[in-house]
Amino acid sequence: MGILASNTIDDFVEKAYPDMIAWRRKLHQMPETGWTEYVTTWYVYNFLAELGYTCFAGKEAVNSNERMGVPAAEFLEEAAERATEYGVPEDMLEKMDGGHTGVVAQLTTGRPGPHIALRFDIDGLPITESEEAGHKPYDKGFLSTREGFMHACGHDAHTAIGLTVARFLAEHKDELAGSFTLLFQPAEEGSRGAKAMVENGWLREVDAFLSGHIGIRNEKAGVMAARGVEFLATTKFDLRLHGVSAHAAAKPNEGRDALLAAAACAQTVAQIPPHPDGAIRAHIGTLQTGSGRNVVADTAFLEGETRGETSEVNKYVWKEVERRIHGAAEMHGVGAELKVVGEGVEAYCDTDFETWLETGSSASRWIERVDSEWPVQASEDAAIMINSVQQQGGIATYMLYGTALADGHHKPTFDYEEETLPVAAAALLHTISEYLHEKV
Ligand SMILES: [Zn+2]
């Protein structure tokens, strides 16, 4: 028995279901990549402010210096122009100027109780969405309106779930206790945004932290897991090589070949020996270099990442990457500029939530089955938030909401069952209700 009757939550979710679909589809049509979520930030901010939340956006929500992987100035300018065209007002654009996105919203019930924080990520991906029949967003007419950009990981769902939870909490404020902080986090892709929110202090003195993801595992909507396990630690990096150009036939000896150095870097990064304490990955995903057939390339740009089953193992991979890249650059006589642009850590969810979720869900018509844990086997920067809350004595979890997947995450035909939206909202609200019943 929670602090609220089970039907109060379930009926609310049922009524909100058509809205959730509408919000999700609207958000799906305007995907924005990390630190350029100008329109999404404005949309979320307005929604929450109207509900009575105390809202912080952009520069107020994130620590400017702790943002990782901020795009180039011209890309940010384009985003601001696009937002202006969309109707985002000047004062909001000012808050977001220079790639400061995301919203933090706070609600105090006025009754003593714990401080609960929830996190929802809001960014899309630089992927061109499929326009094939059979792809639901195409069939139903809610395709991305931005060529080259797509919500291909379900963060449109996460945002819609967040808005629903926010509305419930605001409307039932007088029946609840304690306080709530809702984090609509930018730049999850590439593990870039969580740290900037944590460093602004929003999770200080949080007693319970809830986060999650739809999909990951191909299950039907209604089935879910109380916590994710096997988060991979990761380091994302950019590498710039500076050589010296020369005529390839006349004066090759005067050149310092950034192309050969780049190739050597890519090869040696792929040859890092395994580690006895856990799986490793080291990968170069892009390599751009060269200006002409008969020219010794003077620059190269590479994007890569490392992963480790634990933070310790990832540290080992990253150290190897650094050593090998500097070695390869030295061998070719070129300069190497290695920059960390994203970071994820290992995380362990608290098991406490399972009981609350199970008790709550057993009385809910939205949730069919709750498993204890599912493996994530990917990196997720909510891990930084989970660790931060736990280090200060709070408890934290990352739930997984099952859905049949049309295709894998980050693919042009990625899609999910919208039936998972009410399941996720119900799971979060029932867990909160049970938790509050025990603590208050
Ligand atoms: Zn995702």
Distance from Cα 184 to the centre of ligand 1, integer Å: 13
Confidence of residue 311 (pLDDT cuts 50, 70, 90): very high
- Ligand 1 centroid to residue 363 C-alpha, Å: 29
Using CA atoms, how far residue 295 sits from 243, 261, 268, 298, in Å, is: 12, 15, 24, 9
415 Cα–ligand 1 center, Å? 12
Q: What is the pLDDT of residue 182?
A: 98
Q: pLDDT class for 378, splitting at 50, 70, 90?
A: confident
- 246 CA to middle of ligand 1, Å? 44
Q: What is the mean pLDDT of the chain?
A: 97
> For 157-174, what is each residue's pLDDT tens digit?
999 999 999 999 999 999
**Cα(28) to centroid of ligand 1, in Å?**
14
Domains for the chain: give ranges and CATH numbers: 6-232+346-439 (3.40.630.10), 233-343 (3.30.70.360)
Contact status, residue 269 vs residue 302, Cβ threshold 8 Å: no
- Ligand 1 centre and the CA of 259: distance in Å? 33
**Has residue 363 got a pLDDT over 90?**
no
Residues near ligand 1 ion, CB 5 Å cutoff: 153
What separation in Å is there between the alpha carbon of 101 and the centre of ligand 1? Answer: 17
Report, as an integer, the average pLDDT of 98-117: 98
Which residues, at least 6 apart from 6, have a Cβ–Cβ distance to it below 8 Å? 360, 363, 364, 430
Q: Which of 342, 421, 423 is nearest to 383 (CA)?
A: 342
Q: At what angle do helices 6-29 and 420-439 cross, to 10 degrees?
A: 140
pLDDT band at 152 (very low <50, low <70, confident <90, very high): very high
Report how far ligand 1's centroid is from the alpha carbon of 91 (Å): 30
What is the distance in A from the centroid of ligand 1 to the CA of 433? 26
Arithmetic mean of pLDDT, 77-91 = 97
Could you tell me the distance, in angstroms and rounded to a whole number, from the CA of residue 153 to the centre of ligand 1? 5
What's the CA-to-centroid distance between 178 and ligand 1, angstroms?
Answer: 29
Contact (Cβ atoms closer than 8 angstroms) between residue 154 and residue 215: yes
CA of 409 to the centre of ligand 1 (A): 8
- 3-state secondary structure at position 63: coil
pLDDT tens by residue, 27-51: 999 999 999 999 999 999 999 999 9
Q: How far is the CA of 239 from the centre of ligand 1 (A)?
A: 25
Task: Report the pLDDT value the prediction gives residue 286, as an integer from 0 to 100.
Answer: 97
Centre of ligand 1 to C-alpha 116, Å, is 22
pLDDT, mean of residues 213-242: 96
344 alpha carbon to ligand 1 midpoint, in Å? Answer: 13
What spacing in Å lies between the alpha carbon of 126 and ligand 1's midpoint? 13
CA of 149 to the centre of ligand 1 (A): 15
Residue 320 confidence (pLDDT): 98
pTM, full prediction: 0.93
pLDDT on residue 289: 98
**For residue 107, what pLDDT band results from cuts at 50, 70 and 90?**
very high
- Asked if the model's pLDDT at residue 72 lies above 90, the reply is yes
Contacts of 57 (CB under 8 A, 6+ apart): 41, 42, 45, 92, 95, 96, 101, 102, 103, 104
Band (pLDDT 50/70/90 cuts) for residue 154 is: very high
Residues above pLDDT 90, as percent of the chain: 98
Q: Ligand 1: distance of its center to the CA of 298 in Å?
A: 37
Statement: residue 335 has pLDDT above 90:
yes
pLDDT for residue 387 is more than 90 = yes
Mean pLDDT of 251-278: 97
Q: Mean pLDDT, to the nearest integer, of 388-410?
A: 97
pLDDT of 374 over the 80 cut: yes
Among candidate residues 282, 238, 234, 279, the one with its CA nearest the CA of residue 381: 234
* d(C-alpha 147, C-alpha 144), whole Å: 7
Whether the predicted pLDDT of 1 surpasses 80: no
Give 282 Cα–ligand 1 centroid separation in angstroms: 20
pLDDT score recorded for residue 269: 97
